[in-house]
């Protein structure tokens, strides 16, 4: 069970090379690393911007920063399986392919590689999934953690794991509009959960805060239409700031961070900021969550989420 006082940040790279240029990526890494944090999330298909020439660009930016700074103590989570960045389901999760990318990422990232995750698996075939897990077993024997992200049939993995006994790290989308936590019920007692998408694709409470490179617009969302949850959250924030003895709350990001950090089974939160000031604010706010009691506001957020959940 997680404790909001110990939930750790993970720097996300999904928008690197897309809406976040390389210089900003370097600045984000400088800031994150300088604050003492080491966990970085990556994937072969980042950025998923449907530009074939940008396939694997995000990881290349990360490699350049590591080389420029001589860093050897990152904890990189690498999600593998996708064979392009076109936002489709195409992947290769065969044992031979997974072992090939394991070798490649061990070479590219050396000691900075911490976790290998199977990414975007829509399969239900037991024999095929067992073969993939055999590759993860070799990764574990090499000293890596292993994990799952975007698994359509987690119950199949759970059944097979009786044989392999993995201590999985599992990434789940978890925000005020949607949470995959319930789908992974078979792992609730024996896995480390990491949340991503806490800002629901870039949703903001202030319509004036959107800009041309906002992630919500880049992902195809309508920045000109206010989501129904915004009014409810603004009301909850106003009430909390007036009645609760906690530091002032003001953004959807603050709400998303509390909603993830106070969840009893979430150990880490992926942070997908595109500006250094956003990153600093997020890291500082996570420190406030460790220092103050946000349980009452968390309960309000749970009620709001139940009313506005999309799935």
Looking at every residue in the chain, the average pLDDT score rounds to 94
254 within some domain = no
pLDDT score recorded for residue 310: 80
User: In which domain, by residue range, is 90 found?
Assistant: 8-204+260-292
- We report the CATH number of the domain holding residue 166 as 3.20.20.100
85 belongs to a structural domain: yes
Q: Is residue 141 part of a domain?
A: yes
Mean pLDDT within 231-247? 96
Identify any residues that bridge with 147 across adjacent strands, giving them in sequence order: 117, 169
Is 226 among the domain residues?
no
CA-CA-CA-CA torsion for 221, 184, 307, 206, nearest 10 degrees? Answer: -40
In a domain, 247, yes or no: no
Q: Is residue 308 a part of any domain in this protein?
A: no
* Res 224: pLDDT: 72
Per-residue model confidence as pLDDT tens digits over 168-191: 999 999 999 999 999 999 999 999
Q: What is the largest CA-CA distance in the chain?
A: 58
How many CB atoms sit inside 10 A of residue 306's CB?
9
CB 176 within 8 A of CB 304: yes
For the entire predicted model, the pTM comes to 0.94
The answer, yes or no, to whether residue 1 has pLDDT greater than 50, is: no
Query: What integer pLDDT is reported at residue 219 of this predicted model?
Result: 60
CB 30 within 8 A of CB 64: no
Query: Band of the pLDDT at 208, cuts 50, 70, 90?
Result: confident
Determine, yes or no, domain membership for 100.
yes
Q: pLDDT, tens digit, for every residue of 90-107?
A: 999 999 999 999 999 999
Q: Which residues contact 19 (CB under 8 A, 6 or more apart)?
A: 213, 214, 215, 218, 274
Three-state DSSP at 47 gives coil
- Rounded to an integer, the average pLDDT of 300-309 is 96
Q: What local confidence, expressed as pLDDT, does residue 206 receive?
A: 87
Q: Is residue 240 part of a domain?
A: no
Domain count within the chain? 1
Q: Which of 201, 229, 227, 194 is nearest to 215 (CA)?
A: 201
Cis peptide before 222 (omega within 30 of 0): no
């Amino acid at each position: 069970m997680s404790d909001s006082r110990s939930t750790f940040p993970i720097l996300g790279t999904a928008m690197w090379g897309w809406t976040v240029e390389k210089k900003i990526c370097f600045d984000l890494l400088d800031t994150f690393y300088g604050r003492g944090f080491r966990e970085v999330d990556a994937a072969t298909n980042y950025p998923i911007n449907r530009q074939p020439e940008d396939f694997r660009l995000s990881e290349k930016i990360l490699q350049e920063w590591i080389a420029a700074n001589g860093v050897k103590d990152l904890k990189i989570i690498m999600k593998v399986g996708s064979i392009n960045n076109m936002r489709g389901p195409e992947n290769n999760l065969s044992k031979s392919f997974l072992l090939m990318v394991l070798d490649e990422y061990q070479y590219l990232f050396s000691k900075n590689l911490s976790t290998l995750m199977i990414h975007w698996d829509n399969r239900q075939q037991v024999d095929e999934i067992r073969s993939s897990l055999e590759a993860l077993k070799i990764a574990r024997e090499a000293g890596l953690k292993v994990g799952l992200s975007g698994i359509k049939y987690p119950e199949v993995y759970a059944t097979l794991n009786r044989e392999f006994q993995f201590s999985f790290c599992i990434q789940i989308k978890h925000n005020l509009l949607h949470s995959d936590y319930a789908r992974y019920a078979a792992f609730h007692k024996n896995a480390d959960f990491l949340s991503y998408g806490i800002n629901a694709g870039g949703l903001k409470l202030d319509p004036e805060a959107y800009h041309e490179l906002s992630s919500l617009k880049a992902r195809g969302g309508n920045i000109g239409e206010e989501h129904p949850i915004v009014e409810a959250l603004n009301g909850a924030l106003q009430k909390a700031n007036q009645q609760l003895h906690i530091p002032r709350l003001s953004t959807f990001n603050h709400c998303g961070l509390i909603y993830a950090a106070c969840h009893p089974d979430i150990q880490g939160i992926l942070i997908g900021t595109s500006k250094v000031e956003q990153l600093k604010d997020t890291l500082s706010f996570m420190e406030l969550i460790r220092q103050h009691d946000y349980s009452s506001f968390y309960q309000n957020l749970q009620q709001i989420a139940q009313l506005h959940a999309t799935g």
